[in-house]
Structure 1
């Protein structure tokens, strides 16, 4: 180990705690960014006027010295790490900082009383399962730590998210006729009863609750695309090639119970990937798989004052639930997928064979399996770890213990009991009603490599029919549709650009698709696009547009979009128009050679359009990736990956 580097790290320890923590976090961020993006020049340079330097490193003894010791040199206006500088020194600094930030106080003694609640008659299998429940129930209390929440609050761009929320809320108000009717009704009542203050207060509270739920949508999207990064296997720190996991080691670090060892497929270098269970270091590292994702996201929700809980699926996945005051129910939120309120996604989309899904909060443990399944018979057959009565009694004993703790208020206890009753009513199975949406498309898993998802059997390469049709006559004589691949959102606007409707998820606006089409996100290149799945010869997507109003038909069709091809790949577009001529349907198919700005009136008189894009070709194992639809930079906030304008006229 470099003696100068050891001396600089020791100097850091002489600073006040806050100064030292700020400097260590800044150094960890610099190291992590370079190790993740070793060939990207922007991460190898730190400007001298950067707040990392001026407010974090300069005030700390040893801060700037650490940068020089790992190879940084000073240029005219920045500190720069030369390309030839060995990355081993960055790894050494990272390791030293991680060790130095270990808790100096003795580890917290486990609450033995909780473990004593495990039934003495439990078998080994039952005891192991109950132990895992106790561990999760204990661990969620860390989200309540005031110091940790203060650190978490610093990473959330609250003002930006609030602006985005209010913009979305305003758009919803403008586009909702119900809002207009409610507005008029409210003012009539004001004149009739003079109850202006009471009505305005009620509407104001309703808007606040709406805004809280919409804020969660913005938080979820920001978290997925701007804050956290998915890691299947870290890149080799020596040659930056792909690695494969070799073994899993237990760790003495109380914040990180396990460390994965990955081996480079090219040079054989062994790379460590610590799996942190403590969310504090993850606020800086900002990477991992679903465990790390849900861990930090739940912390952020608690930090912002939401009643949030950590949800553990025994078949190996985790996510978050948040209590909606407006809806009076728990809302499912999967930060890995940027999916909100789609609880059947795992069973219907991922084809999971669920058994136990348990939610943990500071207030209670709750078996929420029934929110996430419609296959009650199948689930009951798979719930064989313990008897239902033993599980229920154990969960009740944990909740009673938590509610009887000295600092747990009677008012909170009553609130939680009422909330729980509402949830139990929601979870009761009602035949037919709960099964009515079995044919709805819930989406396959999008995070993780294709091979990883396929090994877990959470994706399918078969054709998928959504059968969604856009009614272009619903909005008068002009239809304007835009799709953003960055936000993964469709929106319909009027002639003035006011948003009339939005649909999240590219697949939910399609008629059908095949070839395992999915949305690919390249975090290293900061790009995203749609492509077919690996191993498939071709992929296809179809969108359907209908003129449902019998008094109208199509006049002109306009298409603007982007595609990108590499290594002899191919992307082709065509539009199939169906005409209603004297009750005898006829059709015509037009190939589209230039999609950058295609406009035609040859489809005049059509009552239905089917727009099709087909991807194929490419070379080698990455052929699937050589034909890309809607390729855009993740930093392009206002992208319009697909624009369709349809003009109608009277018959």
Structure 2
């Protein structure tokens, strides 16, 4: 069996892409296993050509590195010498097994059909769920895959019952600044709606928005790695899973992640608590802990709230708003409300099954979160029988409603009918849903494919502009472009000084960067967004096939403070050139071997998000911070 999520994702790549990334990971693993004391084999630069071309573009590749034991280490991924090689050896074996699995795809049609008739239809389900349920379920025969799904549904429904505990709700209310949130809600209503803030219909929705914002920015925190109390600034490295203590098990933490401090070698524990009462105390975790605690918070404020489970590994909350007569998607990790297409359109998730549950019912809400219903149905048909799922959910709901009053049953039935009508419609919302994930480290998000990265290795960003020469520029053999940060404007010198307003207007792609204006210091620049580890921005120039690229002149300006760092990179389809950071940089790149496009990349890093800046200029000047000149000749 293949328990690795990364290896399973690798198999889903195209055959040629799979071979490329498989050979790359083979080489990385073999070099380390054969030369365990050689440090050079344990580090991979993010800006290296091999990483950019043979790892980053492919689904599952970064996840495999992380599962091997590699950690994000500044501008590289490193397998530290303290890390045991057991995980790396296991992933290496699973890669070998994955290669055998892919050979089955190339069997003759008759033999392939024969195997499909022999093997149970649920083999894909078993592989998919083997890491999503307790260990002993993973060892069951693949013919019991329906039991695995049924087990998760029952467990999900059973878990939501604890949110109804009145004592627990009272503890949750005790940590919520209700008076302050009421004040903020009233202010929001006055400023945004100009309506009577005492009106319940508006108040219920606006209070929910304030509750989300408070939970995200003032109450709960995200944990990538547990902190070391002795050395808070030191690096922490994973050492695998640790055995849970009795107290861990008491609060539902059967999984305990282990880390070691690079400075004092202290062993650090990160129990993955599954009980919301404990989470009111710890106030930290990843998406599982966030959704778990936030759902309780909503229930304690008298909202009808459901805990939502996505089979592609994410959880969130749905809240019923009376005035809208519908359930609203609420992701506390992202501080996002009512943007259900965010996961499919922004995070690039290949959705299959999403269920929402409270103590009274469980609902298949997958259609709320997709535009591409046909693609979702194809994935579902490979996993389970749709009629079986409907029957299973219906039986579970009938059991929960045995003790309900007739009035409550009628109310739920009306809600269910309205929801079925809503779910049957095609989603057409636009704007906002297309943002990539912001919670978690960049490496973790890249590994999960939940940034704005799409399958071909490009980035699906807010803007995706390609700079192409005009007819006059093609004849002249030159394209010159300038950018002024103080004016926030590009000027195309070689195209009759044509101007483009806004730093995004000619950007090919960007991730976690923004334009900052300091009114007090009268300065403006581009920097990272807050609470991010790496910022990225790039510009792309493409030439027609009739042009032969000869060289590029590049002049950039950046400013760094304290531990800030900016890396510049110039790439084409066959070459990569590092541009040294500094106040001003000039590079003249020689003959490019008939490459038809080029990319200028900038990476911004540092402990403080403002300490790495691009194009810093006084507001009252018109300096040029970015100048690129591309020259070519006709074939």
Correspondence for 2:256: 259
Correspondence for 1:370: 367
* SS of the residue 1:453 aligns to: helix
Q: CA deviation at 1:459?
A: 1.1
- Counterpart pick for 2:354 among 340, 353, 357: 357
- 1:449-528 matches, within 5 Å, as 449-460=441-452, 462=458, 466=462, 516-518=510-512
Correspondence for 1:414: 410
* SS of the residue 1:516 aligns to: strand
Q: Which runs of 5+ in 1 are unaligned?
A: 1-120, 180-202, 469-507, 521-527, 541-562, 572-592, 594-613, 632-642, 644-651
- The answer as to whether partners of 1:258 and 1:275 remain within 8 angstroms in 2 is yes
Correspondence for 1:627: 612
Quick check: 1:171 aligned with 2:156?
Answer: no
Correspondence for 1:141: 161
User: Which deviations, in whole Å up to 9, do the C-alpha atoms of 1:127-158 show, x marking residues without a partner?
Assistant: 11211110110110101101101110000000
Correspondence for 2:485: none
- 1:274-313 matches, within 5 Å, as 274-313=271-310
State how far apart, in whole Å, the 2-side matches of 1:532 and 1:152 are: 26
Correspondence for 1:248: 241
Q: CA deviation at 1:380?
A: 1.4
What is the TM-score normalised by the length of structure 2? Answer: 0.53
- The answer as to whether partners of 1:331 and 1:341 remain within 8 angstroms in 2 is yes
Q: CA deviation at 1:246?
A: 2.6
- The answer as to whether partners of 1:466 and 1:512 remain within 8 angstroms in 2 is no
- The answer as to whether partners of 2:513 and 2:536 remain within 8 angstroms in 1 is no
Q: CA, structure 1 residues 147+348, in 2 after alignment: closer, same or farther (shift >3 Å)? A: same
* SS of the residue 2:350 aligns to: coil
- Counterpart pick for 1:232 among 220, 224, 232: 224
State how far apart, in whole Å, the 1-side matches of 2:302 and 2:366 are: 25
- Counterpart pick for 2:323 among 326, 330, 346: 326
Q: CA deviation at 1:413?
A: 1.1
Correspondence for 1:544: none
- The answer as to whether partners of 2:511 and 2:537 remain within 8 angstroms in 1 is no
- 1:577-596 matches, within 5 Å, as none
Quick check: 1:124 aligned with 2:122?
Answer: no
- 1:48-447 matches, within 5 Å, as 123-174=143-194, 207-240=199-232, 241-249=234-242, 251=244, 252=246, 253-255=249-251, 256-383=253-380, 384-405=382-403, 408-430=404-426, 434-435=427-428, 437=430, 442-447=434-439
Q: Which runs of 5+ in 2 are unaligned?
A: 1-140, 465-501, 515-526, 540-558, 568-582, 584-599, 620-635
Q: CA deviation at 1:429?
A: 3.5
State how far apart, in whole Å, the 1-side matches of 2:503 and 2:355 are: 33
* SS of the residue 2:187 aligns to: helix
State how far apart, in whole Å, the 1-side matches of 2:189 and 2:312 are: 37
State how far apart, in whole Å, the 2-side matches of 1:122 and 1:396 are: 24
- The answer as to whether partners of 2:357 and 2:363 remain within 8 angstroms in 1 is yes
State the Cα RMSD in Å. Answer: 4.0
Correspondence for 1:556: none
State how far apart, in whole Å, the 2-side matches of 1:385 and 1:157 are: 45
State how far apart, in whole Å, the 1-side matches of 2:340 and 2:326 are: 13
State how far apart, in whole Å, the 2-side matches of 1:337 and 1:300 are: 16
Q: CA, structure 1 residues 209+230, in 2 after alignment: closer, same or farther (shift >3 Å)? A: same
What is the TM-score normalised by the length of structure 1? Answer: 0.51
- The answer as to whether partners of 2:342 and 2:434 remain within 8 angstroms in 1 is yes
State how far apart, in whole Å, the 1-side matches of 2:312 and 2:168 are: 30
State how far apart, in whole Å, the 2-side matches of 1:259 and 1:378 are: 36
State how far apart, in whole Å, the 2-side matches of 1:215 and 1:623 are: 32
Q: CA deviation at 1:453?
A: 0.6
- The answer as to whether partners of 1:464 and 1:513 remain within 8 angstroms in 2 is no
- The answer as to whether partners of 1:351 and 1:458 remain within 8 angstroms in 2 is yes
